[in-house]
Amino acid sequence: MNEEQRKQQSQIKQVNPSGEKDNLDRLKQKTSDDFIKYFETTYEAPNLRKAQKRGKQEVKYHDDFAIDEQFQGLGVGKKYLIRTYGCQMNEHDTEVMSGIFEEMGYEPTTEAKEADVILLNTCAIRENAENKVFGEIGHLKPLKVENPDLIIGVCGCMSQEEAVVNRILEKHHQVDLIFGTHNIHRLPQLVHNAHLSKERVIEVWSKEGDVIENLPKRRAGNIKAWVNIMYGCDKFCTYCIVPYTRGKERSRRPEDIIQEVRHLAAQGYKEVTLLGQNVNAYGKDLDIEYGLGDLMDEIRKIDIPRVRFTTSHPRDFDDRLIEVLAKGGNLMPYIHLPVQSGNSQVLKLMGRKYTRERFLELVGKIKEAIPHASFSTDIIVGFPNETEEQFEDTLSLYDEVGFEGAYTFIFSPRDGTPAAKFDDKISMEEKKERLQRLNAKVNAYSAEAMKQYEGQIVNVLVEGESKNNPDVLAGYTEYSKLVNFRAPRSAIGKIVPVKVTEAKTWSLNGEMVEETAEVK
């Protein structure tokens, strides 16, 4: 921990000075004064100007993560439960926190009633994401009343927001622990404090942490794995909270990433997804001339059947990466390329730093180099004052690219971001109607893409039983299409050829076949 971070670190102490058994009412009276002190000294709410000036402070790499002896064994005989919201970054953070819990002796549980510690790993990307979490905090209250020894914690992106921490402290006294996205490696200390002191423990560094290597991980599966290649985001799209909740861009060193992928390959994993909020900016903060293309060029030589990456920003998607992706092999030809809008004026207001034309040019270049590549995207409708014509540009761009899938969202104003202050005359009704029109198109394109597979043989990485029917196995194709099919359980964890018998809008049904000829 460096000096700066030490200054940023804070815990509310003395919330329950009498040391008696916890009592929700007493917490209510005590927290507000302490909280104000805490924020005055340690917390900065999202602030565009300050955040954009954060510049290029040196990132320190720590290879010596270890759980302090005093915390080892702390969890023996106890159980933990983590509920995860939001993106893959959060899913992977949950794997790290699970790893830490298990090294402390905790066992996992899926039953809230059995848990001694419950963490909500939260997402702040849209208002409804936050509402879900507040709903869940409410649901957990009776458990806390029943079992005052239960620790309820809130971590992840919402805990980086001042207003959220404020609201929890004022209204949700069942929450004992709040920590931020830069404080994950401090989990042993924080849980220890929460268990022992029965005080509310809060630690949110508003400045990003260093890069911590060698954190333990309990991966959710043994077939596919997430691998962080960088943290944070410096793009500051005007609608987005992520640059504030995740801090500035910090790349992991190539050798650490490559070693992790090699290790996963040796353990028998079949697929890795390289993770970052803006993976195309990978390496920009390193002192060497090295980017995502260079990294992928090394990773493709590792003996692991499938390599994916997410999320790409069109602005930084360079020729070197295209050239490497065109080498094929284990680099999957399905590219998630969020466009957000098909109108250059809206893109400008969003701060995306590319135009409709530039985006189409990029897609054209990728298709030329990799003719069999296909694309999915993210789209926001109802950006402040988006006109009907501007929205129609998004629809026509969708047609031009022929995306095979999209995550679509209605703009949600996020506190502290520039777009939240934009005046907006478009009604919610209108925005919902546009979303429906867009979704109809998205579904139609997906169904059409699926239809083309009927009668074809596809390679499926089998992940396990289908959610709805244990007699049916499920997995994904190279193009990330979900396939349900009958096959012996011994196929789980393997890549097998499946003949597609029926296409649905979002999935395929099929039958496993023996030969691999004409695989699509």
Residues that bind ligand SAH (CB under 6 A): 125-126, 239-240, 242, 277-278, 311, 313, 338, 340, 378, 380, 409, 411-412, 414
Please identify, using beta-carbon distances, which residue of 336 and 434 lies nearer to ligand SF4: 336
Long-range contacts of 58-61 (CB under 8 A, 24+ apart): 59/210, 59/211, 59/250, 59/285, 60/2, 60/210, 60/211, 61/210, 61/211, 61/213, 61/253, 61/256
Q: Is 82 in the site for ligand F3S (CB under 6 A)?
A: no
What minimum distance in Å lies between the beta carbon of 315 and ligand SF4?
Answer: 8
The verdict on whether residue 123 carries a ligand-binding annotation is yes
Nearer to ligand SF4, 247 or 293 (CB): 247
Supply the DSSP symbol for 346: H
Least Cβ distance, residue 52 to ligand F3S (angstroms): 18
Q: Does 155 bind ligand F3S (CB under 6 A)?
A: no
Question: Which of 234/478 has CB closer to ligand SF4?
Answer: 234
**DSSP of 383-417, one letter per residue?**
-TT--HHHHHHHHHHHHHHT-SEEEEEE----TTS
End-to-end CA distance of the chain: 50
Place of tokens 């702390």: 74
Which of 118, 237, 292, 450 is the binder for ligand SF4 (CB under 6 A)?
A: 237
Note whether 87 binds ligand SF4 by CB under 6 A: no
Structure tokens at 11: 């815990």
Q: Are strands 374-381 and 405-410 parallel, antiparallel or unpaired?
A: parallel
Distance CA 133, CA 130 (A): 5
Residue 240 in marked binding region = yes
Find the binding residues for ligand F3S in span 100-139 (CB under 6 A). Answer: 123-125
Flag whether 155 is marked binding: no
CB of 470 to ligand SF4, least distance (A): 38
87 assigned ligand-binding residue: yes
Distance of CA 25 to the CA centre of its chain: 35
State the Cα–Cα distance between residues 191 and 101, nearest whole angstrom. 9
Burial category of 113 from C-beta neighbours within 10 Å (exposed 0-12, middle 13-18, buried 19 and up): exposed
Residue from the set 233, 346, 483, 500 that interacts with ligand SF4 by CB under 6 A: 233
User: Would you count residue 237 as binding ligand F3S (CB under 6 A)?
Assistant: no
For residue 296, give Cα distances in angstroms to 199, 286, 322, 327, 330. Answer: 47, 16, 10, 10, 10
| Binding-residue total with ligand SF4 (CB under 6 A) | 10
Binding of ligand F3S by 78 (CB under 6 A): no
Query: CA 228, CA 212: separation in Å to the nearest integer?
Result: 11
Phi, psi for residue 201 in degrees, rounded to 5: -115, 125
Instruction: Tell me which amino acid residue 237 is.
Output: C
Shortest distance, CB of residue 351 to ligand SF4, whole angstroms? 8
Q: Does 90 bind ligand F3S (CB under 6 A)?
A: yes
Contacts of 155 (CB under 8 A, 6+ apart): 97, 119, 120, 121, 122, 177, 178, 179, 180, 181, 183, 184
Q: Where are the alpha helices (DSSP H) in 246-339?
A: 254-266, 292-299, 319-325
Site track 274-313 with ligand SF4 (rule: CB under 6 A), x = hit: ---xx----------------------------------x
Q: Is 157 annotated as a binding residue?
A: yes
233 labelled ligand-binding: yes
Q: Which does 86 bind (CB under 5 to 8 A by kind): ligand F3S, ligand SAH, ligand SF4, none?
A: ligand F3S
CA distance 502 to 387: 39
User: Which region among 228-236, 294-302, 401-409, 464-472 touches ligand SF4 (by CB under 6 A)?
Assistant: 228-236
Question: Using the rule CB under 6 A, is 246 a contact of ligand F3S?
Answer: yes
Considering only 9-17, 85-93, 218-226, 482-490, which stretch makes contact with ligand F3S by CB under 6 A?
A: 85-93
Query: Given the rule CB under 6 A, which residues bind ligand F3S?
Result: 86-87, 89-90, 123-125, 156-157, 241-242, 245-246
Binding-site residues, in ranges, read 87, 123, 157, 233, 237, 240
Which spans of this chain sit near ligand SF4 (rule: CB under 6 A)?
A: 233, 235-237, 240, 242-243, 277-278, 313
Q: Which residues are annotated as a binding site for [4Fe-4S] cluster?
A: 87, 123, 157, 233, 237, 240
